[in-house]
């Protein structure tokens, strides 16, 4: 996502005993190519954003403003209705195009849901067809339960079941659940004031069989905003606060993403040790 998100390479610099560069050299095909579990999270976040935006009744109208639309001018959106079942296909084409946050995509995401637009809770199912994110092949069937909160903002519970294959055939899988609340800026088609709160539990399995388990409590969710970067047509997510716990083998890292400021400063504590301050990588 090219954002200030702590990447696995930074964690490995602290976990010298457990990492041993295994994740670099033990890909499914012996390649040295490596993407982190956070990179896989970024794919999930982008897909979730697309599904949330495109599951509304007026979703296709969002393409009229390329500078402030998350999709930019990448996609062609088609909708068909059979009875009360809506099928919406977001087609990014066969060559890479760039989303508003700088990531590239191609292929299709296909959504199915009922047209009960006024329901408080709706379930959206979606699948991928030759879909690639930053040249990583994404497969799997997933669903999102979308609930309208008393504030009028949507909250989505995302059931994760996704496989990511790198260009050199290293395979990553992610399972679990993430809850994503659209906390501020919903409904005005302005990306710059969007704020999301994310919590949940999910696990990424790396090509060598190692796993990274992520846990974010509802009491201290990740606060994700756009407004740190004001470049129109190039919005990027930034995590500015919240606490995440990542477990790998017998080691646990607790990451505090800061106090809500756009300063990129956070802390990490390994296995209960003293907190170490770091600057998050763009």
Which helix (H) or strand (E) segment holds residue 145: the answer is: strand 141-148
> Which pLDDT value is given to residue 52?
79
Q: Could you report the per-residue pLDDT of 49-107, keeping only the tens digit for each?
A: 888 788 876 654 444 444 457 786 778 889 999 999 999 999 999 999 888 778 899 99
User: What share of the chain in percent tops pLDDT 90?
Assistant: 37
pLDDT band of 252, cuts 50, 70, 90:
very high
Q: Could you tell me whether strands 121-133 and 141-148 are parallel, antiparallel, or unpaired per DSSP bridges?
A: antiparallel
Q: What is the DSSP letter of 268?
A: E
- Distance from first CA to last CA of the chain, Å, rounded? 9
**Per-residue pLDDT band at 31 (split at 50, 70, 90):** very low
Q: What's the pLDDT tens digit per position in 133-160?
A: 999 999 988 888 989 898 888 898 988 8
- Model pLDDT for residues 189-244, shown as the tens digit of each residue: 677 788 889 999 999 898 888 888 999 999 999 998 876 765 544 556 788 999 99
**107, 131 contact by CB (below 8 A):** yes
**Where exactly are the structural domains of the chain?**
8-279
């Amino acid at each position: 996502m090219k954002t200030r998100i702590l990447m696995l390479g930074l964690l490995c610099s602290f976990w010298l005993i457990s990492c041993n560069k295994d994740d670099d050299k033990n890909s499914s095909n012996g390649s040295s190519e490596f993407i982190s579990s956070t990179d896989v999270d970024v794919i999930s976040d982008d897909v979730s954003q697309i599904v949330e935006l495109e599951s509304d009744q007026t979703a296709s109208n969002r393409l009229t403003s390329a500078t402030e639309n998350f999709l930019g001018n990448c996609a062609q959106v088609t909708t068909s209705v059979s009875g009360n079942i809506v099928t919406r296909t977001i087609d990014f084409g066969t060559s890479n195009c760039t989303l508003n946050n700088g990531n590239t995509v191609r292929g299709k995401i296909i959504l199915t849901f009922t047209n009960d637009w006024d329901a408080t809770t709706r379930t959206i199912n979606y699948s991928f067809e030759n879909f690639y994110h930053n040249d990583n092949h994404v497969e799997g069937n997933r669903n999102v339960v979308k609930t309208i909160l008393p504030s009028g903002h949507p909250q989505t519970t995302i059931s994760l079941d996704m496989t990511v294959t790198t260009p050199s055939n290293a395979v990553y899988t992610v399972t679990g659940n993430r809850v994503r609340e659209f906390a501020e800026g919903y409904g005005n088609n302005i990306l710059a004031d969007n704020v999301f709160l994310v919590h949940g539990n999910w696990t990424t399995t790396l090509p060598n069989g190692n796993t990274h388990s992520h846990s974010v409590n509802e009491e201290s969710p990740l606060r994700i905003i756009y407004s740190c970067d004001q470049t129109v047509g190039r919005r990027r997510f930034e995590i500015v606060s919240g606490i995440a716990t990542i477990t790998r083998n017998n080691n646990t890292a607790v990451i505090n993403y800061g106090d809500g400021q756009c300063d990129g400063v956070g802390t990490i504590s390994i296995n209960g040790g003293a907190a170490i301050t770091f600057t998050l990588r763009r």
